[in-house]
Amino acid sequence: MARVGFVIAFALSLLVLGALVTFGFTAFIRTVIDHQVALRVGGQSFGWWSRPPVEPIIRIFVYNVTNADEFLNNGTKPILDELGPYVYVQTWEKVNIKENPNGTISYNQKRVYIFNEDLSGGLEDDVVIVPNIPMLSATSQSKHAARFLRLAMASIMDILKIKPFVEVSVGQLLWGYEDPLLKLAKDVVPKEQKLPYEEFGLMYGKNSTSRDTVTVFTGVDNINQYGIIDKYNGRTHQTHWLSEQCNRLNGTDGSIFPPRITKNSTLNVYEKDLCRLLPLTFEKEVTVRGGVKGYRFTPSPDVFASVEKNPNNMCYCPAGPPCAPHGLFNVSLCQYDSPILLSFPHFYMADQSLRTAVEGISPPEKDKHQLFIDVQPEMGTALRARARIQINLAVSQVVDIKQVANFPDIVFPILWFEEGIDTLPDEILDLMKLATTVPPRAKFILTIALFGLGGFLFVVAVICLVRKSHRQSTLHLEGSNYLATASVDQAKKKAKMDNGMSSKSN
């Protein structure tokens, strides 16, 4: 009996354990994953975060203007020849790392770009003709200034022989060349209004350690804040836009996100050159190398929409109507008032009149020009990414400045780039696959095993109890019958003895 009781107790224990596995195993595994994912100095994830074991690649395509003189003199459409890609392999590292007492960590981003000739479609020495961005920025800004200032600017440009188009190498366009207007500004502009650079280049100063100090949440105290920016250069919000919502900085850098992403999640990515959060929404499920499954997130079609099509974008138009055309985003406020408009490459998801205003740009293709990030939803890690952005210059006609008197109002494409990673190292992918596929299988196997074994032992024990109870009942009945038979025999024997005694008396 004691043995059966032990078996029943053991079986019930297995069933209770099975219930705990069914309802608590996932939470336990998530707790373990959260602990491993959070940024703890000395931890494995911290090492991957501070010095990513990947080599991001940036591919740059430059729009070379092939008919600059005809465009200026005859008013013909500019004809562009897309050159490239010019490929740079990068290394990323976070330096000057400092832990803060409020569950955040601060750092500066260091990036090194190395030109890869083998992967490129040209050389850094390739000469291109592109719009003179410093000059055209200055003339566009002077459009509403006093007329005598515009005439003075025209005279200065005449003396310095500054023209609307410049002939430079690709390397100079990207990393910097001496510009006479910037050199002049350095000497005459008040110190508080000076630009923070002495040369002009679309990527000037990026091949170094950034001066920007970024503070992010480690996720140790709250995993739901993992990787989210707390402050950027000490500020929790931008100051450019018209609402608190549009000035928010609480996104990530695009490499990590809080865990347990769903298809209804919105991923916010902050990039300084964009001056805002870029919201990404779920598009589809994907599978990357190694069989790791992920979710693809992309910008919604209305992210750069005109205010007529998306009134929520009005907060990004502080100067008031007219605002940026559909598919363009005006970043002039955070680019020293230079009339830079960003779009997706080949004006993807933009008004196609922008593309047809020039010749030489093929129609956009989703596979080639869409920005996306593939993330592992349970861990929040980027598996693959393509940040694709086109840089455009909004040029305004200014009749008082003869150098640009024939330059029409136009959005002039300068270049576009594709930056990202193709895959993570096998070590990380294997770990992700292990962390995301083994626990569900282990849960299933444990649940079946515990419920199966517990149920089997319980049933066996109950059967044993029933059989034992039945045997005892049978023995009791047999015992009762034996006593009854013995009593009858005793009575018969006594009656017989009595009859014998009576016979002798007679």
pLDDT < 70 stretches in the chain = 1-8, 10-12, 14-27, 29, 186-196, 435-444, 446, 450-451, 454-455, 457-458, 461, 469-506
Q: What is the pTM of this model?
A: 0.84
Rounded to whole angstroms, how far apart are CA atoms 67 and 71? 6
Q: 409: buried, middle or exposed (CB in 10 Å: 19+, 13-18, 0-12)?
A: exposed
pLDDT for res 220? 93
Residue 373 maps to a domain: yes
Are 31 and 63 found together in one domain?
A: no
**Residue (of 416, 402, 406, 401) closest to 141 by Cα position:** 401
**Residue (of 270, 268, 279, 271) closest to 304 by Cα position:** 279
pLDDT for res 473? 63
Structure tokens at 93: 């590292």
Residue 89 maps to a domain: yes
pLDDT for res 192? 54
Residue 499 maps to a domain: no
Which residues sit opposite 237 in a β-bridge? 248
Are 357 and 462 found together in one domain?
A: no
Rounded to whole angstroms, how far apart are CA atoms 299 and 283? 9
Residue 485 maps to a domain: no
Q: How far is CA 313 from the centre of its chain?
A: 22
Within 10 angstroms of residue 276's Cβ, the number of other Cβ atoms is 24
Are 195 and 141 found together in one domain?
A: yes
- Provide the number of structural domains found in the chain: 2
Are 82 and 213 found together in one domain?
A: yes
CB 277 within 8 Å of CB 300: no
Residue 495 maps to a domain: no
How many CA atoms within 13 Å lie on the side-chain side of 476?
Answer: 6
Structure tokens at 135: 């000059």
pLDDT for res 345? 98
pLDDT for res 44? 83
- Kindly give the pairing relationship between strand 209-217 and strand 229-232: antiparallel
CB 66 within 8 Å of CB 82: no
Are 134 and 280 found together in one domain?
A: yes
Are 310 and 409 found together in one domain?
A: yes
pLDDT for res 144? 73
Structure tokens at 66: 């092939």
Residue 506 maps to a domain: no
Are 389 and 280 found together in one domain?
A: yes
Containing domain of residue 113, as a range? 54-424
DSSP per-residue codes, 231-255: EETTBSB-SSSSSHHHHB---B-SS
Are 37 and 66 found together in one domain?
A: no
Residue 160 maps to a domain: yes
Phi, psi of 89 (to 5 degrees): -95, 135
pLDDT for res 156? 82
Rounded to whole angstroms, how far apart are CA atoms 133 and 63? 14
Are 277 and 305 found together in one domain?
A: yes
pLDDT for res 506? 47
Rounded to whole angstroms, how far apart are CA atoms 162 and 156? 9
Q: How far is CA 466 from the centre of its chain?
A: 62
Are 202 and 319 found together in one domain?
A: yes
Please give the single-letter amino acid code of residue 201: G
Are 459 and 314 found together in one domain?
A: no
Structure tokens at 34: 């959260």
Are 173 and 87 found together in one domain?
A: yes
3-class secondary-structure state, position 451? helix
Residue 430 maps to a domain: no
pLDDT for res 302? 93
